[in-house]
């Protein structure tokens, strides 16, 4: 799989997530606080799509061999099938707790299954844009966690999200180190590594 295909596949996934958040924005429109929250989540996905488009415009500046990818391949078809499954589910009645769980699941996929592979791409001339994309993905996860804190009435889910809060948005990567400090900090450098290994347990229960 080459870089062009990866960017196209990731953009298709991001567009699908944006559509789900747009549905939540409309579904919970009558609740002012939730309406604002989902509007911000939609905007966050839109920013990520814009950044992917920006990367694609840079491709002509890269010699063809640099378009080859490194790292393991992501199963984009599987991710798209999960998005389609959620689209079918949200066509039915749902409450804010289920919407937050779906969003949390999707944001974890963005971080673990998409972004952690994108950072393995050749970094030039994409580095600045990928750094911005990284920051926006982390901001969106931060927004979502704040939304869970504000709106979730599922105490078990809320507890697990807060317990893993640092590990979810503080995972270190090569692009992190080059990009410098971010707004999310955790003084226990061992903590994120321990918590990352437990994220699958949350995903399985969503």
pTM over 0.85: no
Q: What's the mean pLDDT in 5-26?
A: 92
Query: For 28, which DSSP code?
Result: T
3-state secondary structure of 112: helix
Q: What distance, in Å, lies between the first and last C-alpha atoms of the chain? A: 31
150, 154, 160, 166: CA torsion to nearest 10? -10
Express each pLDDT in 21-70 by its tens digit.
999 999 999 999 999 999 999 999 999 999 988 888 887 666 655 555 55
Question: Residue 165 CB: number of other CB atoms within 10 A?
Answer: 18
pLDDT higher than 50, residue 178:
no
Map out the domains of the chain as residue ranges: 3-205
Alpha helices for 69-126 (secondary structure H): 76-90, 96-109, 116-118
* Pair of tokens at residue 76: 């984009």
CA distance 47 to 53: 10
Q: Indicate if the pLDDT at residue 202 is higher than 60.
A: no
Instruction: Please state, in angstroms and rounded to a whole number, the distance separating the CA atoms of residues 65 and 57.
Output: 17
Which phi and psi (to 5°) does residue 91 adopt? -70, -15
Better-scored residue on pLDDT, 179 or 153: 153
Residues 106-159: tens digit of each pLDDT: 998 888 777 766 766 666 677 788 778 888 888 899 999 999 999 999 999 998
């Amino acid at each position: 799989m080459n870089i062009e295909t990866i960017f196209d596949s990731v953009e298709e996934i991001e567009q699908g997530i944006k559509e789900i958040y747009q549905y939540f924005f409309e579904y919970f429109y009558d609740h002012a606080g939730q309406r604002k929250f989902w509007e911000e989540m939609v905007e966050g996905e839109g920013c990520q799509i814009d950044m992917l488009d920006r990367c694609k415009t840079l491709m002509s500046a890269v010699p063809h061999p640099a378009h080859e990818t490194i790292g393991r391949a992501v199963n984009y078809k599987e991710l798209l099938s999960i998005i389609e499954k959620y689209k079918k589910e949200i066509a039915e009645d749902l409450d804010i707790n289920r919407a937050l769980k779906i969003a949390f699941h999707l944001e974890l996929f963005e971080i673990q299954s998409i972004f952690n592979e994108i950072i393995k791409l050749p970094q030039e001339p994409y580095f600045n844009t990928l750094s911005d994309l990284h920051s926006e993905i982390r901001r969106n996860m931060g927004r979502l966690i704040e939304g869970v804190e504000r709106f979730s009435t599922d105490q078990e889910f809320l507890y697990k999200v807060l317990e893993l809060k640092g590990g979810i948005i503080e995972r270190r990567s090569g692009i992190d180190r080059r990009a410098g400090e971010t707004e999310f900090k955790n003084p226990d450098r061992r903590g994120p590594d321990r918590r990352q290994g437990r994220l699958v347990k949350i995903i399985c229960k969503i």
